[in-house]
Structures are given as C-alpha cells and as structure tokens.
A and B are shown apart, each in its own frame.
Chain A
Amino acid sequence: MRRLNAYALTFRLPIIIWQALFFIGPLIFVVAMSFFVVKNYRMVETFELTSWAKMISRDYVWSAYRYTLVMAGSAAAIASILAFPAAWFLAFRCSARARQVALLLLIVPFFTSYLVRTFSWYTILAEAGVLNGGFALFGLGPFKMLNTPFGTLVGYLTLVLPLVMILQTVTMANIDTRLVQAARNLGCTPARTIWSVILPAGKTGFVIAALFAFILSFGDFVAPFYLGGSNPPTMPILIIDTTKAGQQWPRAAVVAVMMMLTLFSIAFAAIVYSYRKRASR
C-alpha cells in the first residue's frame, strides 16, 4: 500500500469533488428516481418497479430506442467516411503549418452555438430554401428535407463532423510515415496503403472518433427536435415528452437510465476493441 500523499491528494481532490457532485450524484439520483412513482401529479419517493414495467412493455419505447441507435450509428459511420478524405489530406499531404491552420479553422464552428448552426439549416433545407431553389433550376423537387430523418442526420453531422475530422487528422498525423513507406516498398499501391496500413495503424483513433460521434448524436435533442420534427421520436425526445405528459419524471428517468446503460456498454466495447492487442503466446 502506498502512503496517502497529501500533495497529490490536494491536486486530485477538486476533480474528485467535481465528479462526485455533478456526475455521480445526479447519476445516482436519476437511477433512484426511476423507481419512484407519481401519484396525483406528485412524485413519491419509494422503491417500485412500476415505471420500469410500464416503459419496458411499451412498443413505442423500443421503436424509439432502435431508431435512435440506427440514427446515431449512421451519423457516426457517415461522419467517419465523410471526414476521412479531408483528414487524410490534412495529415499526409499538407505541411505541418497548413495542418495547424486547418485544425484551428475546424475548431471555429464550436465558437457558434450549436442551436444557431441548427437553425441556419432551416434556410437551406426548407421547402422554399436554398437547396430546393437550386433543384428547381433543373426542374426537380421541391424535396421535403426538414422534419425528416434526413434533417435529423444533417443536424447530427453539423454537431459531430468537425470533431471527427479533428480526431482523425490528429490520429493520422501521428502514424509513423515510415510504415506507409515500408508498405510501398513491399509492393503496396498508394491506394491500398489506406486499408493495409493507415486504418489498422490508426484503429484506436478512428474508433474513438466514431464513438464520440455516436455518443453526441445518441444524446442530442436539438437535431431530432428542430430538423427532424420529432418524427419519429428519438430517446431524448421521449424524455421531454414523458416529463411534459403528466409529470412522469420516473418514466423519463427510466429512458435516461436505458440510454446511459447503452452508452456505457457501447463505449466499453469500442474501447476494448480499439485497444485490443494481438494475443501473445
């Protein structure tokens, strides 16, 4: 046993207190609340499985759950694929200086409120918006893009694409270029190095980038609400709806706990997968 080091403790204490107050505390409270019941629009602190039984038996909960999983998964996959060529270019074809500037520019979107960026899509995606105006020139459309799953996806990508691009760029910039050269030296075509060297060498970074995209999309309320028109609802929208309908906070807590369990298991699986080393005998 190491002796308790007062010096180390002094520096670690704030983060421990912070986590306890604002993460573990609320987490315990939400879990506890999922066992409360509502009587006469009043929450009663008790331990009953009523809310769990109610929510788990409802089809609309599970269809919202599946829809949220598919949408967040699609956002993670599409963001990873869309970001890759640009990140590859920044990592391998740019000077270090150009890369720094590009990374700085990729951070700029985060300066603006996500809500503002979401609303700006209204003018682009609306029936009489910029995109449909462009399609009309070719006699196409108008296409309904707002209040559709497509709108939701656009919103998710607005949130996660810059982040995924930053993480992928940093990942690839840290790959030892001698590995790429060694592959070329052994007969690997430039295009094939992406599959044979870059993806496996940067696996951890690519998985973490996709994981972040998934987590942010899975819990996002803004995109499915404003751009997807809550139709069909995602899990965060289910939480809002449930709290509004008859003060059903315990049922909302059940949804929240379901979401957290899902995120914990997916994050755990992704991290185990990305850090897994080859079995050594």
Chain B
Amino acid sequence: MTEPLVTFERVEKRFDDFVAVKGATLDIGAGEFVAIMGPSGCGKTTTLRMLAGLDAPTSGTIRIAGQVMNDVPAHERDTPMVWQSLALFPFLNARENVEFGLKMRGVGVSERRQRAMTWLDRMEIAEFAERNVETLSGGQRQRVALARALVTEPKLLLLDEPLSALDAHLVIRMQSVLSRLQRELGITFVYVTHSQSEAFAMADRVVIMSQGEIAQVGTPREVYRAPRSRFVAEFVGRNNILPGEVVASHQGMVSVQTPLGTFNVQGDAAPGTSASIVVAADMMQVGGGENRLTATVISEEFVGSMVTAFLEASDGTELKVQVQERALADLGLETGREVSLGWNTADGHLLVDETP
C-alpha cells in the first residue's frame, strides 16, 4: 500500500457505559475503496462518524493525510458523507442542495452554480436541478446526495449505507455508478454497509467488525475464502463449519476429528487444539471430493442460475451446497433424499478456535 490517507491507531469510542468501538487500528490507502461491514451495532457507523468529526474518539488517534484529526471540528474537515437517510435539505431545491458545501466555503454565486450544474450533469440529473428534492425519486435523490458530497472535490468520501433505502434493481445500478465514480476520481471511499453483496461487489478491501472490534481486514476474496474467526466465517455466509479437534499434524496438513468424521485440511495446528474446518458452499460437491460425508436434503433456495441446497447431517449439523440450477436434477438433490457430499482437501480452510 502507498502512503495511507487514513490511519486509526487504537481508537476507542465510549458512550457512557457502552463501548462502541474498541481499540481499532486500521490503515486506509489513498484511492482505496474500503467497505466496513458488520451486523447492526458493531460500531461501523460510529467509526465513520469519527472520521467525519461528528463523534470524537474517547482515546486513540485518527489521522487523515498525516494530520491528527481528533480535535478538528466537523466543519473544518473535508470529509463529506452520503447519509443513509440522505439528509437532503428539504427547503432547498436539488441544485441548491449541491451548492451548499461550496456556499459554506465562500465560493461565489456564479461559480458555485456552474460547479453544481456540472455535477448534476455528471450524475445525469441536470434536468431536475430546480426541482424540490422531495418530489424526486429515490434514485434521483441518491444522485443529488452524491453530487452534494462530491462537489467540493474531497480526497475522502464517506458513505453510510447509502443504498439501503433503494429497490433491488436500483442498488445494482448505483453500485456500478459508485464503482465507476471511485475509479474515475481516484479518491478514497469508505463505505459502511451491512450488505455483503454491496461490499464484495465494490470494495478493494473489506473490514469486518463485530461488537466494536475489527474482526478481519482483507480483500473480499481473502475474507470469503480464508475467514480468520468463526464470526467472520458465519457472517460472510454460505459457509459450512465443521467444529472438531486436531488429531494429527504433518507437513502443513492436519487431520481434524469432527462428529461427522475425520477430515484433512491444509494448515498448521498442534494435536489437541480445537479447530473447525470451513468449506464454502460452492466448494461442496455432490457425490465427489476427497473428504466425504452424507446428509439429507431439507430445502432449497432458488436465486436465479444458482441454487443453494440446505442439508442436515446425521448429528443435526446444517450444511449448504451451492450448485447450478440446471445441474440440480442430475445431482438428485431432492428434498428428503440422502446424498453423499464431499470436498477436496485443498478447498477446505482450517479455523483454529481462539483461546478464550
């Protein structure tokens, strides 16, 4: 990574007794698209608000471009935010909303009007410039909010679940708008979301938070294929988790004994360690693989060309298999039927349980 634009150093935020963010340490590079994700109340929005100066950290240091930001008030930062509620000013029209940041910075009337129009045009909503924002559609309002945040040409854009209020088809559309904008502008996006698909679709790196702590930082692929904790493995979803105990370890390969059998996985852990094997649902094979077990089909979830089948093993462990819809019939994945599942050793991932 190049010189980081944003650094968090053991940042902590308390609200009375509640610790919203615990000892967060994180670097965000210039021009990076970072998604912070996690369940509700994990501290992701607080982290973003601290970057904007809307909440002050209780301890630790936040730097932007090398400068310590802890005591810089919100209005002296250039960290515009796109809000979950959009927070457009209802008493201003679309153009005046976009002009707001420029007006606050003392930009003259004609220049700020022209710059606002340039952005509205870029967001393809110039024709609605004089419209009351309350009469615009969700997607148009979203674009006004983006134009309003970007018109001051910041180095860092903060986005707080900006797409959560949009219809599904608009979400996909706005994702590509955001990705393209970020590439074209080359500025840093910090994007808070609870949606894995949004984060994985757009972000260079994802930060997964749980109960105020950063659980894992990595590329979407790393987080998905190599979760570092059970929380991450469960949060990123569609993972099969088989808990057990390491019984043998030999040259980068360990055997883990689980209630469903003893399976091999790449990794390193001393015998006696409690550990789990994680197998992504799309790595599970029906009737194949080097590690085998049997399970009964419970139900299916159909999402377009892919189908996720939910199965139950003999001890009640829930398993998931993702297969092509057109292959479904050939595989015999009918509800109530017992099938053989398996995966190749290289596709499994060893997860050593954290010592309590």
Interface residues of A (CB under 8 A from B): 176, 178-179, 181-190, 192, 196-197, 200-201, 203, 277-281
Contacts and interface: CB of A to CB of B under 8 A. Distances in A.
Contact of A201 (B81, B89, B105, B135): B89
Contacts of A182: 81, 83, 87, 89
A185 B91 contact: no
B79 interface: yes
What 5 pairs between A and B have smallest CB-CB spacing? A187-B104, A182-B87, A186-B101, A200-B91, A184-B74
Given A187-B101, A187-B105, A178 B91 contact: no
B232 interface: no
B104 A192 contact: yes
A179 B89 contact: yes
Contacts, number: 74
Contacts of A197: 89
Contact of B130 (A181, A185, A201, A281): A281
A186 B100 contact: yes
A188 B131 contact: no
Contacts of A278: 91-93, 132
Contacts of A176: 85, 87
Contact of A280 (B52, B89, B132): B132
A184 B87 CA distance: 12
Nearest to B84: A178
15 contacts: A176-B85, A178-B87, A181-B74, A182-B83, A182-B87, A184-B54, A185-B75, A185-B79, A186-B100, A186-B148, A200-B91, A200-B92, A201-B91, A203-B91, A278-B132
Contact of B132 (A178, A179, A196, A277): A277
Contacts of A185: 52, 54, 74-75, 79-81
Interface in B35-78: 52-54, 73-76, 78
Contacts of A192: 104
B131 A281 contact: yes
B75 A187 contact: yes
B271 interface: no
Contacts of B78: 187
A51 to B, nearest CB: 46
Nearest to A177: B87
Contact of A189 (B75, B79, B148): B75
Interface residues of B, number: 31
Nearest to A281: B130
Contacts of A179: 87, 89
A280 B105 CA distance: 28
B75 A178 contact: no
Interface string B123-145: 00000001110110000000000
A76 B231 CA distance: 61
A186 B81 CA distance: 8
B259 interface: no
Contact of B87 (A181, A196, A277): A181
B90 interface: yes
A90 to B, nearest CB: 22
A203 B90 CA distance: 12
Given A179-B87, A186-B152, A187-B78, 9 more contacts: A176-B85, A183-B100, A183-B104, A186-B101, A187-B101, A187-B104, A189-B75, A200-B89, A277-B132
A181 B84 CA distance: 13
B13 to A, nearest CB: 16
B312 to A, nearest CB: 45
A179 B83 CA distance: 10
A280 B128 CA distance: 9
A167 to B, nearest CB: 19
Contact of B135 (A184, A189, A280): A280
A253 B78 CA distance: 64
A200 B135 CA distance: 18
A153 B316 CA distance: 81
Given A178-B85, A280-B131, A280-B135, A186 B91 contact: no
A178 B88 CA distance: 9
Nearest to A193: B75
Contacts of B132: 277-280
Nearest to B103: A196
Given A178-B85, A203-B91, A188 B54 contact: no
Given A277-B132, A281-B130, A188 B87 contact: no
B41 to A, nearest CB: 18
B127 to A, nearest CB: 9
Nearest to A181: B54
Contacts of B148: 186
